[in-house]
Amino acid sequence: MDHLLNSDDPPMFGTSLREEYIAVARTLGLSPAGLRDLACNAARAAFLPRAEAQALIAEINTVPLPPAGP
């Protein structure tokens, strides 16, 4: 099962997509690569034509990950 994050109504819930990613990273201990996987899952689940979803995933995968911690 693929998991993804979203922010349906930021003003109503007092959050943003950025804050959701930070919260899940802290709560679940996700690495930057794990967060990137969530973003790619979201692109796959979006109502986009396949080519656009694949282009978005390719763009997400170009973002450099920070070096691994100590």
- Residue among 47, 1, 6 nearest 23 (CA): 6
Domain map of the chain by residue range?
10-60
Distance CA 53, CA 70 (A): 34
The pTM of this model reads 0.82
What pLDDT, in 10s, does the model give residues 8-42? 777 778 888 899 899 999 999 999 999 999 999 99
What pLDDT, in 10s, does the model give residues 44-57? 999 999 999 999 99
Structure confidence at residue 69 (pLDDT): 61
Structure confidence at residue 31 (pLDDT): 92
Structure confidence at residue 6 (pLDDT): 78
